Amino acid sequence: MKIAVVILNWNGRQLLEQFLPGVVRNSPDAVVYVADNASTDDSIAFVAREFPSVKIIRNAGNFGFAKGYNTALQFVDEEIYALVNSDIEVTENWLDPIADTFANEPDTAIIQPKILDFKNKALFEYAGAGGGFIDQFGYPFCRGRVFDTVEQDEGQYDDAIEIFWASGACFFIRRDIYRMLNGFDDSFFAHQEEIDLCWRAFNHNVRIKYIPQSVVYHVGGATLQQGNPRKTYLNFRNSLLMLTKNLPKDKLYLILLQRMVLDGLAGMQFVAKGKWKHFFAILQAHGAFYRLFSSAYRKRASFQSKEYYKIKSIVVAYYVQGKKTFLKLF
């Protein structure tokens, strides 16, 4: 099976200059692409000049993560897509354990490697860590990262297991499954689109795995920093859209109502900390969700699994019971 390593770029000359050489060097059997979201810097000229083996796909606008990949991947025919952030440092032979898993496990369709922090390589990285899960209310957490508590990598998550969602920072998926699911949801623009895609895959009995023998390092926040209100807006809005699309019908409205209450409490926390821009970002997110609710509801599949979560409330476990790491949750 041929692997396509596809890096989405938007005005990322510095990141490409720093990380693309390693991707090309350590991916000798893959085809490397840079999919560009109409950059206005010289990043694509740089790639064309310095890396003639890298294929360039030019999108007509800044389509964000979701539509950016959906548009670009129409032109990629390799059997396995490796969607890799431009701020990812890969390691030697990083593709081998992934390729072996796909070859030996035909029912595995989505894979995430171990994602560690580029700035402190002893730590897991916030966006994905050792594989993702969600609670009943759609709050994501990872092995190695629960809310803002990030663990040191001491080999505690070195087992290859099934997970609920794989991080979009370094996301492997079979081409045919991606196309069967119609890719990411364009309306998300960015943030949580990979969780939504994985949830839709899960509802189709698609197997998602974490393979720790493949290791990458992620800078994180290269496009939007963690404290950016735009990120707050997208995360809150997209989480509600994701719940609307994927929750079992008998739980949908009750959980949405409970989630809105929890979002309100999060907003009050921002107010208490004087973070008014984030408070208003939550209000804007809810306003956008109300406008998009009907279109999101129409995207619901005919079946939604009731077994999508492992823990009822990560908020209660973390903030009330003081369970700060994944292994203490169960």
Q: Exposed, middle or buried, 208 (CB in 10 Å: 0-12/13-18/19+)?
A: buried
Where do the structural domains in the chain lie, given as residue ranges?
3-218, 229-328
Model confidence pLDDT, tens digit, residues 249-283: 999 999 999 999 999 999 999 999 999 999 999 99
Whole-number Å distance between alpha carbons of 136 and 130 = 20
Whether 138 shows a pLDDT value over 60: the answer reads yes
Whether 221 shows a pLDDT value over 90: the answer reads no
CA distances from 302 to 165, 203, 298, 299, 312 (A): 20, 9, 11, 10, 24
Whether 224 shows a pLDDT value over 70: the answer reads no
Model confidence pLDDT, tens digit, residues 299-317: 998 889 999 998 999 999 9
- Domain 3-218 fold is Spore Coat Polysaccharide Biosynthesis Protein SpsA; Chain A (3.90.550)
Per-residue pLDDT, 11: 97
Helices 252-272 and 229-246, packing angle to 10 deg: 170
Whole-number Å distance between alpha carbons of 280 and 37 = 28
* Strand 145-146 with 149-150, pairing: antiparallel
pTM (2 d.p.): 0.94
Model confidence pLDDT, tens digit, residues 29-82: 999 999 999 999 999 999 999 999 999 999 999 999 999 999 999 999 999 999
Whether 127 shows a pLDDT value over 60: the answer reads yes
CA distances from 26 to 249, 301, 307 (A): 45, 39, 38
What are the beta bridge partners of residue 110? 173, 208
Residue 236 CB neighbours (<10 A): 25
Whether 225 shows a pLDDT value over 80: the answer reads no
What is the distance between the terminal CA atoms of the chain, rounded to a whole angstrom?
37
The per-residue pLDDT of the chain, averaged, comes to: 96
